[in-house]
A and B are shown apart, each in its own frame.
Chain A
C-alpha cells in the first residue's frame, strides 16, 4: 500500500513535468521523422523503418534514465525526503515506489514510437508487439541506470550524466545512427561489449521474426539489466542508510 501510494506520487511528478514529456516522447519522434525523411530522399538500408523504429525506441528509453535519476536526486537532496525518512516507509517501499511507475511509462513510450513508425509505413502485425516485448529488458536497464545515478549524484550531475553522456553514448554505440561495421576496430568492440547495440538488435530481430538473432542479444541486455539493477538497489540502500547516519 505504502509502495503504491509513493509510486503514484512519483508517476504524477514525472508526468506533470512538461520537459519530461517533451524530451521523452517529442524528441525521439522528431528524430524518427527526420531520419525517415532522409530515407525517403536518399534511401539508406539502415534508415528503413523496420530497422529505425527499434533503434529510436531504445534511444527514447535513455530519457527514462534522465527522468528517474532527476526525480530521485531531487528528492534525496530535499527536505521532502527528510519527511519521508521519518515516516514508517521501508527501503523496499522507496525502491519499488521509484521503479514501478517507470515500467509502464517506458512501455508506453516504446509503443508511441512504434505507433509513429506505423504512420511512417511500418506494416502492422504481431511482430510489433514482440519487438516491444524484446525492448522491455532495455527499459529495465535504463530505469536501473536512472536509479543508480539518482542515488549517487545530485540533480545537476544527473542532468550531465544521464541527460548528456548517456543519451549520446547509448545513441552512438547502438548502431541506430550509423553502421558500427563501417567504423569497426575498437569502437565496434566497445559497442559490442555494451548493451545498447544488443538492445536495438533484439528489437530489430523480434520485429523481423528472426528468433535465432533475438536471444543472444536479449541475454546480453538482460544480463546488464540484472547486474546494474542489483548494483543500483545496493547503492540506493547504502546511500539511504548513509543519509540518515
Chain B
C-alpha cells in the first residue's frame, strides 16, 4: 500500500483551477519534496491532502483512507508543521507538546512521557518551562516539528520548515528531518532548492496546478540537461523541460 495516492485530485475556486487532476504516488517512508513557484498549486494540494480543504474533484488515499469519505481516520494518522508560528503562545514548551499529545487521544501520563521524549530528542530540555512566545525562531521551529511528531504520525507535512532560520539552525533542523527518513513519510514544501536536493528522495515540480515532473533531483537535472538542480527546476516550472 502506498503512503499517499492522489487520484485526479482537483480544486477549483470559481473559474480558477488551482489543482488540476493531480495523480501522484508516494511510498511509505519516503521524503517527497513538492516544489513550485507561488501559485503553482502545491499549497492547495497539501491543504487537500491534510484535510484543510475539500477537493472539488477526485480523491486522495492516505495509508488507504480516503480524504473525502474518511477524513477523521486520515487526521488520526497525519500531522503538520505549518510554515508560521503554530504554538500556543502562553503555554510552555512542555505544555504545548502535552496539548498536542492529548488532542491526539493520549492519556495524561503518556502525554507527559512522550513530551519528555520529544524534549530530549529535539534538545529542548533547557527551555521546557519557557513559554513558547519567548522562544527564538529556530527553537520555535524545532518545537513546531516536535509538536508535529509527538502524535507519531505516519505521514508528516513540512511546510517551509526552515524559512527565516539562520544557517546553523537550518542545518540542525535538516539533521532532525534526516533522522526521520525511512520511518515517517514526509512531504516537504520549500523554496530552497538546496534543501529539496539535500533532503528529498524524490521531487515533484508543480506549475499551473499540474504536476510537471517527478523524479530524483539528479534525474530531473539530467532530464532537463541543466547545469544544476535550480536551473532544472526553473526549466520545469517555466515549462521548458
- Of the stretches B49-57, B115-123, B227-235, the one at the interface is B49-57
Which residues of B from 26 to 78 have beta carbons under 8 Å from A? 50-54, 72, 75-76, 78
Q: Are A88 and B105 in contact (CB under 8 A)?
A: yes
| B100: interface (CB < 8 Å) | yes
- Of the stretches A49-57, A79-87, A149-157, A183-191, the one at the interface is A79-87
Residue from B54, B90, B95, B103 within 8 A of A87 (CB atoms): B103
Q: How far is the CA of A208 from the CA of B47 in the complex (A)?
A: 58
Question: If the complex has contacts A2-B105, A12-B91, A13-B91, are A87 and B100 also in contact, measured as CB distance less than 8 A?
Answer: yes
Q: Are A9 and B91 in contact (CB under 8 A)?
A: yes
Question: Which residues in B have their C-beta under 8 angstroms from that of A78?
Answer: 84-86
What is the CB-to-nearest-CB distance from B93 to chain A, in angstroms, rounded to a whole number?
A: 13
Q: How far is the CA of A84 from the CA of B76 in the complex (A)?
A: 12
Q: How far is the CA of A245 from the CA of B157 in the complex (A)?
A: 19
Q: Are B86 and A85 in contact (CB under 8 A)?
A: no
| A63: interface (CB < 8 Å) | no
Q: Are A13 and B79 in contact (CB under 8 A)?
A: no
| B8: interface (CB < 8 Å) | no
Q: How far is the CA of A90 from the CA of B147 in the complex (A)?
A: 19
| B83: interface (CB < 8 Å) | yes
Q: Are A13 and B103 in contact (CB under 8 A)?
A: no
Q: How large is the interface on A (under 10, 10 to 19, 20 to 34, 35 or more residues)?
A: 20 to 34
Q: Are B95 and A12 in contact (CB under 8 A)?
A: yes
Residue from A1, A16, A244 within 8 A of B105 (CB atoms): A1
Main SS at interface, chain B: loop
What is the CB-to-nearest-CB distance from B233 to chain A, in angstroms, rounded to a whole number?
A: 26
| A6: interface (CB < 8 Å) | yes
Question: If the complex has contacts A2-B103, A89-B103, are A82 and B54 also in contact, measured as CB distance less than 8 A?
Answer: no
Question: Which residues in B have their C-beta under 8 angstroms from that of A126?
Answer: none
| A17: interface (CB < 8 Å) | yes
Question: Which residues in A have their C-beta under 8 angstroms from that of B91?
Answer: 9, 12-13
Q: Which of B76, B82, B148 has the most CB of A within 10 A?
A: B82
What is the CB-to-nearest-CB distance from B158 to chain A, in angstroms, rounded to a whole number?
A: 13
What is the CB-to-nearest-CB distance from A87 to chain B, in angstroms, rounded to a whole number?
A: 5
What is the CB-to-nearest-CB distance from B136 to chain A, in angstroms, rounded to a whole number?
A: 17
| A5: interface (CB < 8 Å) | yes
Q: Are B95 and A79 in contact (CB under 8 A)?
A: no
Which residues of A from 6 to 31 have beta carbons under 8 Å from B? 6, 8-9, 12-13, 16-17
Q: Are B51 and A82 in contact (CB under 8 A)?
A: no
Q: How far is the CA of A1 from the CA of B111 in the complex (A)?
A: 12
Which residues of A from 174 to 230 have beta carbons under 8 Å from B? none
Q: How far is the CA of A12 from the CA of B90 in the complex (A)?
A: 7
What is the CB-to-nearest-CB distance from A201 to chain B, in angstroms, rounded to a whole number?
A: 37
Q: Are B89 and A13 in contact (CB under 8 A)?
A: yes
Q: How far is the CA of A8 from the CA of B108 in the complex (A)?
A: 12
Which residues of A from 59 to 88 have beta carbons under 8 Å from B? 78-80, 82-88
For the complex with contacts A78-B85, A83-B147, 11 further pairs of A-B residues with Cβ separation under 8 Å are A5-B99, A5-B102, A9-B88, A16-B90, A17-B90, A82-B52, A86-B51, A86-B75, A87-B104, A88-B103, A245-B53
- A interface residues, Cβ below 8 angstroms from B: 1-2, 5-6, 8-9, 12-13, 16-17, 78-80, 82-90, 244-245
Q: Across chains A and B, which 10 residue pairs bring their CB atoms closest together, nearest first? A: A5-B102, A79-B86, A79-B82, A79-B84, A16-B90, A88-B75, A83-B86, A86-B80, A13-B90, A86-B50
